[in-house]
Each structure stands twice: as C-alpha cells, then as structure tokens.
Amino acid sequence: MNTKLYLEPDEIYLFNCGELYHSYLKMGAHIIECNSLHGTNFVVWVPEALNVCLVGEFNNWSSTDSSMTEIGTSGVWSIFIPKVLQGQLYKYEIHTKSGKVFLKSDPFAFYSEFRPATASIVWQLEGFSWQDQVWMKQRGVNVQEMPHLIYEVHLGSWRRKEDGTYYNWRTLAVELLHYVLSMGYTHIELMPIMEHPFDGSWGYQLTGFYSCTSRFGNPQDFMYFVNQCHLEGVGVILDWVPGHFCKDAHGLGQFNGSSVYENDENEQWGTYNFNFEKTEVWSFLISNAMFWLDKFHVDGLRVDGVSSMLYPDYEKPKHSWKLNINGGRENLRAVAFMKRLNEAVLQNFPDVLMIAEESTEWPLVTCPTDENGLGYNFKWNMGWMNDTLRYMGLDFPLRKDNHQLLTFSMTYAFSENYILPLSHDEVVHGKRSLIGRMPGEYSQKFSGLRSLYGYWMCHPGKKLLFMGGEFAQFIEWNEEAELDWFLLEYEMHEKLQNYVRDLNKLYCQERALWENEQDWAGFEWIDVHNHQQCILIFCRKALKKDNFLIILINFLPNSYLNFRLGVPRKGFYQEIFNSDLSIYGGNNHINSSLVGAEKVAWHGQKFSITINVAPLAIVILKPILNT
C-alpha cells in the first residue's frame, strides 16, 4: 500500500477554506496511476479522528494494514491501493479518540449498493461518449426569453414493470422521453436521484450526495438518459437538497462520532441540518452542485428547502433556534453560502438553471449577488400556487368574493424570475389531487381543471406540472405504485390529456406567452375587476408589438352570448384556442369565425369585440395581421 500524496497542498488548503469547488476530482475513490502503478486512491475528510481505515471486499473487510494517512492536521485522510478496484465494495472504519468505532459510507462515492445494503462502490465516471455538443452549446441562450415547460417526475412511480420493479435509465430514455416529447414539454425535472435509503422520503433524505441512485442503473446509464434527452432537445433538471440529510448510521451524521457535517436537527423531517459555519461543508456542497452539472451535463438544479436554510426559525418552535449576531432571524452563514454557491455555479456554468424553492417574502432571490441578491436565476412562485389552488377549490358561489386570490399575484409578478409550480407537494398528504379539488359534478371538475391549466399557462412565469396532472389522476400521488395510466381508457381523462398536450404546444408556439415576461411590457390587464362574473381578461405581448394574445377565462359555470371585451387595435381576431372544444371534453361553445373589432370603447380600450363565452372555459384570441 502506498500513501503518496494525491491532493496538492493548495487543494487541501482550499478544501478546508470552503473554496475547493471541484473536490470530487480528488476526494472519494479514484482509479489512478501512482509511481507507475495502476491502482485506486481513497480520500476522505474525517476531522478529529484517532485513525481511519479502508475496508472492503478487496481486504475481506479487515482493517489490518489498511490505515489511512492524515495529511497534516487537515482532517483529510488518504490511501493508495495498488489494485484497480472498479466495482468493489468499500467503507471507512473510523476510530474515535473516545475509543468508539464506526463504519461509514464514502461521502464522495459515485455509486452505492442497492438499498437496504449500504456500502460504497468504486466506480469510474470516465468512458461515456457524449453526443450532446450542439445542445450544450445553445441551451442557455437568452434563458429568460425562452419557453420553460417542465414535467416533474418521480421515477419510481411514473411507470413500473409488470412485476412492480423499476424501469432502468435506458428504458426511461425511450419510454419517458418519448412521452415527454409527445406531450410537448421542454424539460424534465427529476425528484432527487441521489442515493437515499428510504423510498418514502422521495429522495429528499440523502446518504449519498455524489451517488447516482442504484435503483435505476449505474452512473453511465444516467449519462445515457441525459444524452438522449439532449439529442431530442429536452433539458434535464435535478432536485437538489443542500439543507439537510438523513440520520442513517452509514451516512454523514455523526461522521467521527460527533457533529462533522451537521449543526442541529431538522425537527420537521427528523434529519440533520448542514452546518454552514463549517467551510469544509461549503466545499462539499458547492462541489456537489458542480458535480452533477459537470459530470452528468444536467441543465439545472432546483434547490430544495431554501426557506428552511435562510431562517433558523422556519416551521420551528421558538425554543429551538437562536437569533443571529445582529438580532435577526436570518441564518447569515446560509445566506453567504447560497450567494457563493450561485456565484460559483453560474461562473462555471452560466447557461444552467439555478431554481430556488423559496416560500417566504425574502427579497431579491433571483437578483445577482452584486446587487445584494441571492443569485438564483429562477424562483418557484409559491404565493401564486397557494392563492390559485385555494381559489380553484372554492365552490362556485364563493368565488366572486375571493377574486383577489387570482389577481394579487400580478402585484409582484415581476419582482423575481418566477416558475409557476403545480408540483408533487400539492397532491399529497390529504390535499387531494388537482382534479379532486375542483367543485361541481363530474364534467364541471374537468372543465374547472382545464380553466386552471389555461390560467396557469397564460399567467407570466415559466411552468411546472407534476406527473399525473396531465391526465387528471383522481387519487393523490402514491410513491409506492405507478400512476393510474388505466384512466386513459376513460374518455374524459384521455380528452384532458389531449387538452394538456395541445395547450403545451400552443405555449411553445406563441412567443407572447414566454418571450416578454420580465416586466409589465409583456402583460396588460383588460378587465381585472369583474368579480361578479368571475372573469379575467388580459393581454400577453411578445417583443414585437403586433404579436399579442387576448385571454379571457371564465371561472363560473355560466355561459354568455355576445360578451363584449375591449381590444387594443382594430382589425380581425381569430380564436386560436378554446377549452370548451368537444375534443377536450367540452360542449363546442366556440367562436369559429373571425371576429371584427368595432370602434366601441370598452374596458379602457379604443376598440372592442363580442364573443361567446362557455362555462368554466378559457378563450385565447390573436389579431390577424394585414386585415
């Protein structure tokens, strides 16, 4: 065994200072050449340990003659084994100064055993032949002015084999990708695919931050999946969890017998919170973000639980947190960490998405750090989601007195770069499915869901929909079984899926719905006050002034003939979309002919038109040029 120094002194210094942002290139297990010998080098950070030994299949799990060497007093331990150990199982045996001994998985392992087994696996990431150069070159061009229509997926329950086992990445690269393409989505967002021991955590309680979960294949299989998505023009976003980690004995918790990575306990989730006071934790987490972007070519990270990192008191009783040194509620070190994270990521990968799941009123989340922002480039609009779903769940007679739930979001719509999420969190834990929230009888529920999706699609902000919502799964999401695909054998569910497909494609085709939504230049209210009829009318505008859409949404089960609405210019208007088409499950109360604008002032506009308005329906009109 050889203990030749693999990390350079400046790398160790940067790791300890919290500034080694590609630490995965040296930490963990790497097959290298050392003194003309091909072998495997192991590096792990275990501060304050008495001794650290490498154990695994290759030495019969014996710590005899497998002691690692600490590099100075850095807490970084290393050992070189003159054997190529690709595919071999291993752990670290950690001896504490108090005489206790722990077996721990490698925090930097690239691959791990399939649960419930817990060993790390030596695995090279090299050797995959990427073919996505065209995608990688163009993916981030004018990211704010491009359509983002995201399909959120939990891989273990999207579809399963007949025997109930999981699809692997290579099958998903056919089945899931084909489905996403047929539905017109631009991105897939995967709920966490990092290694986790408990399926019921949905991947949000991790043990292997650098391990692509063994549930769906090996790391190269995931590379294949991403590569195929990119070849078909579909981006891949990963959910990423830098706030906390699970307490399982083989994981990061109590890594040297006491707190190493953690600060305190996350009482809501029964996990440990990361300690952002420790600079090595910065190196670990920022490197982890870089790792998925670098080695797997993913197109963005949705950062989970940002609010709980920003505020020590977030959903906690008062006795369990302390004010910061300025007497405020903010976690100052977590704030500094997030700013540095986004600076480092976007400096190295300026074309990726860094999305904050942030549910409070923290200002400037998507502003650059040099403008006192957190540096993300998108934020989930949780306020819009909560208000909208509350409104849509109201019985029809109650809606007129709650009109502000639909309109309030426009008071802050341009304060951040928003994504409008209809996510997995809204269809679990007794909240009911989206269609299950809709009032009325059977057909009205589908009409109401179509109106919700129309409002969502036309409101400023990028879009995210959780799987199953596109065909109106009635039951809440269950991670233990695949979606209720059999529902597509029923007419209304199949028609709803067709509606979502056509709405998706309309969104991507119409630049007015995504090109110009950073300020009021791309949006104008035509009638925001019609709470009695529960009707919203507004205009969405592309960058070219003649490219705009008129959107009317009726949130009551009442129909109107010859309904007058104001329009900004003369000429003819064509109905390009109507949710009441019979092919979508409606009654064909549509406007099939061109509608000519009259010089009758209405809704503050110089011109107006009259149309027929179906119950619980959205109508989208577009001006016809050269008429």
Q: Tell me the per-residue pLDDT of 266-300, one tens digit each, with 9 for 90 and over.
A: 888 899 999 999 999 999 999 999 999 999 999 99
Q: How far is the C-alpha of 16 from the C-alpha of 45, rounded, in Å? A: 10
Decide: 330 and 324 in contact? Cβ < 8 Å: yes
Confidence of residue 322 (pLDDT cuts 50, 70, 90): confident
204: helix, coil or strand? Answer: coil
Residue 2's pLDDT is: 44
Interval 350-366 mean pLDDT: 96
Give pLDDT tens digits for 160-191. Answer: 999 999 999 999 999 999 999 999 999 999 99
- Per-residue CA distances from 198 to 203, 246, 247, 254 (Å): 8, 10, 11, 19
H helix intervals, 431-557: 434-437, 442-458, 491-509
Catalytic residue, candidates 357, 416, 470, 510:
357
Q: How far is the C-alpha of 33 from the C-alpha of 30, rounded, in Å? A: 10
Residue 117 CB burial class (10 angstroms; 0-12, 13-18, ≥19): exposed
Q: Is the pLDDT of residue 626 over 70?
A: no
Sign of the dihedral defined by the CA atoms of residues 278, 283, 286, 287, in that order: negative
Give pLDDT tens digits for 331-348. Answer: 999 999 999 999 999 999
Catalytic residue, candidates 304, 358, 510, 517:
304
- Per-residue CA distances from 311 to 79, 335, 358, 361 (Å): 40, 9, 11, 11
Confidence of residue 140 (pLDDT cuts 50, 70, 90): confident
DSSP symbols for 342-356: HHHHHHH-TTSEEEE
Give pLDDT tens digits for 544-563. Answer: 999 999 999 999 999 999 99
Residue 3's pLDDT is: 45
500: helix, coil or strand? Answer: helix
Confidence of residue 319 (pLDDT cuts 50, 70, 90): low
Is 304 catalytic? The answer is: yes
Average pLDDT, the chain: 95
Confidence of residue 5 (pLDDT cuts 50, 70, 90): low
Cα 555 from chain centre:
29
Cis check for the bond before 116: say yes or no (omega within 30 of 0). Answer: yes
Decide: 442 and 403 in contact? Cβ < 8 Å: no
- Return the higher-pLDDT residue of 405 and 325: 405
Is 357 catalytic? The answer is: yes
Residue 328's pLDDT is: 80
Give pLDDT tens digits for 245-267. Answer: 999 999 999 999 999 999 988 88
Residues 6+ apart with CB under 8 A from 126: none
Q: Is the pLDDT of residue 317 over 70?
A: no
DSSP symbols for 477-497: P-TTS---GGGGGSHHHHHHH
B/e letters for 241-267, b = 16+ CB within 10 Å, e = fewer, are: bbbbbbbbebbbbbbbbeebbbbebbe
pTM for the full predicted model = 0.96
Q: How far is the C-alpha of 356 from the C-alpha of 240, rounded, in Å? A: 10
Query: 10 Å Cβ neighbour count for 87?
Result: 12
Q: Is the pLDDT of residue 90 over 50?
A: yes
Confidence of residue 627 (pLDDT cuts 50, 70, 90): very low
Paired residues of 619 in beta bridges: 552, 578
Q: How far is the C-alpha of 299 from the C-alpha of 305, rounded, in Å? A: 20
Query: 10 Å Cβ neighbour count for 364?
Result: 15
